[in-house]
Amino acid sequence: MTYVIALAGKGGTGKTTVAGLVVRALGRSGRGPVLAVDADPNTCLDVAVGLSAERTVSDLLDETRGLRDVPANMPKPLYLEYHLEDCLVEGRGVDLIVMGRPEGQECYCSANQVLRTFLDRMIGSYPSVVVDNEAGMEHLSRRTTRDVDLLLVVSDATVTGARAARRIADLVRELDLPVKRIAVAVNEAETMAGPVADILGGDGLAFAGFVPHDERIVEVELAGQPLTELPDDAPSVVAVEAILDRELAGAVR
């Protein structure tokens, strides 16, 4: 059965870094291959997982905008879905699909709809799926994120980050989205002050754990290497693996 993890959080909290660490942990634990979905217009997950997408979902939509004559009289939605295969980058233990930039001044909803259609078809082929959503909450209000086993909200140890995390959890409940569990991971920290803990505490938002500052992440990034190349004993790797072990163990129960 496929296990879907989506990540959300305020910009600047290290959400994509945590997403890359989640992909690494799932692959190393035998839960791969992993489908990594970069649903953030500010594409960064490709670097984190060491794959390069030459074509994105938005590229495809740009190419077919205004297209009236579809080859072989194929319905346009089917034509788009067929060509989404070209947007899938296959790697070793992880595949990647990138949403890409917004469609100029137009609504981004069509890209989300095409991506949802593609995921609906592809998701069953992977034991694990990791979706890195854009910063903030717009992807949730547009219902881009759905059928999620774990929504991992990434915060830092600040009141601002904690408030954003709490709003995301509240929005999931307000929209009645099919998210089985919501948990917050506090990044770049090993403790949090009382006011931060008070905001994050309460109903609807479990505490997944801390992801400490890790100089080895800085080292691999400066060397132009993906997070998948981090050593097994890197503090951030150990922390994210522990978070997933606990979350997945709870899912089995």
Over the stretch 155-199, which tens digit does the pLDDT of each residue have?
A: 999 999 999 999 999 888 888 888 899 999 999 999 999 999 999
Q: Give the count of domains, the chain.
A: 1
Residue 253 confidence class, pLDDT cut points 50, 70, 90: very low
Task: Enter the pTM of the model.
Answer: 0.88
Over the stretch 21-74, which tens digit does the pLDDT of each residue have?
A: 999 999 999 998 999 988 877 778 999 999 988 888 778 777 766 555 566 667
Nearest Cα residue to 49 out of 73, 32, 71, 68: 32
CA geometry: angle 40, 163, 197, nearest 5 deg? 120
Instruction: Name the residue range of residue 56's domain.
Output: 3-252
CA end-to-end span of the chain? 15
Domain CATH code at residue 177: 3.40.50.300
Per-residue pLDDT averaged across 82-108, rounded? Answer: 77
Contacts of 163 (CB under 8 A, 6+ apart): 199
> Looking at the predicted structure, is the pLDDT value of residue 227 above 70?
yes
> Looking at the predicted structure, is the pLDDT value of residue 147 above 50?
yes
Mean pLDDT score of the chain, rounded to an integer?
A: 85
Q: Among the listed ranges 120-124, 146-150, 179-183, 236-240, which one has the minimum average pLDDT value?
A: 120-124
Q: What local confidence, expressed as pLDDT, does residue 66 receive?
A: 56
CA 164 remoteness from chain centre: 17
